[in-house]
Amino acid sequence: NRCYIEPSRNSDGEYHNISLEEQICPNGVTIRQLDSSLSHTSVFSDLEPTGPPDRTYKVVFAGDAAVGKSCFIHRFCKGVFAVNLGSTLGVDFQVKTIRIDMKNIALQLWDTAGQERFRSMTTNYFRRSDGVILVYDTTNERSFLNVRHWMDSIEGLSTKKIPIYICGNKVDLREEATIRGITCVTSDQGLKMAEQNGAAFYETSSKTGYNITNTLVALSRDMLTVEDDEIMSSTMLIIDKKQERRCC
């Protein structure tokens, strides 16, 4: 499991320059604090695809309404923060191809509505998904508590074991919200929730771009690993059956 937390800030509210440094927190979960001074373009220019997709994966974004799922996807696909995105009605999706580990990966990013009236429809999209990003708002405690309900839906409808990433979004707003007396979700609370559910944990900001691409890159690698393992298992099963026939 991995967890990516927000770098510390100085008294002026600015992020410190933190190098790529890994720490190990309890229960073997890796925390990597990223250098927030690095730009989205300079860090991830090597993700540009070199041809048609070698693999295609369906990634479903889930979570309560107004936690920032649409802005998360828009930030990843377009590289900018969308100020006035309306609420998703039903389901929407975008596709972005990136290059990971010498493979061109097409990510179908399904944006589901978080409103209760759409819940029965949107949860069906967990079927045949290859990965799920479950988003909550770090300045909205209720959206965090509802993560458990979303996890139950995923586990009940997914047809296979898939990578699940829990993302605490809007970390850029948390400090100010806390000062205003709003009960916010801490990094430790998010990490504990992820550990309890066997999920990876990231804190993100669609506004600043913090950890948006990192989340999708890590998830892509996990989905690649899952598919490679499935291919290997199928290949070994075929070999075993052929050997059984020869023995007979």
Mean pLDDT, the chain cut into blocks of 10 residues (248 residues total): 52 42 41 40 69 97 94 95 69 91 96 67 81 98 96 81 96 98 98 97 97 97 95 71 64
Read off the pTM.
0.79
Contact (Cβ atoms closer than 8 angstroms) between residue 63 and residue 69: yes
CA distance 132 to 109: 10
Identify residue 32 by its one-letter amino acid code. R
What pLDDT is stored for residue 29 in this prediction? 44
CATH code of the domain made up of 2-219: 3.40.50.300
- For 135, 137, 147, 202, the CA distances from 190, given in Å and listed in that order, are 11, 11, 10, 8
Query: Residue 230: CB partners within 8 Å, gap ≥ 6?
Result: none
What pLDDT is stored for residue 85 in this prediction? 66
What pLDDT is stored for residue 20 in this prediction? 35
What pLDDT is stored for residue 211 in this prediction? 97
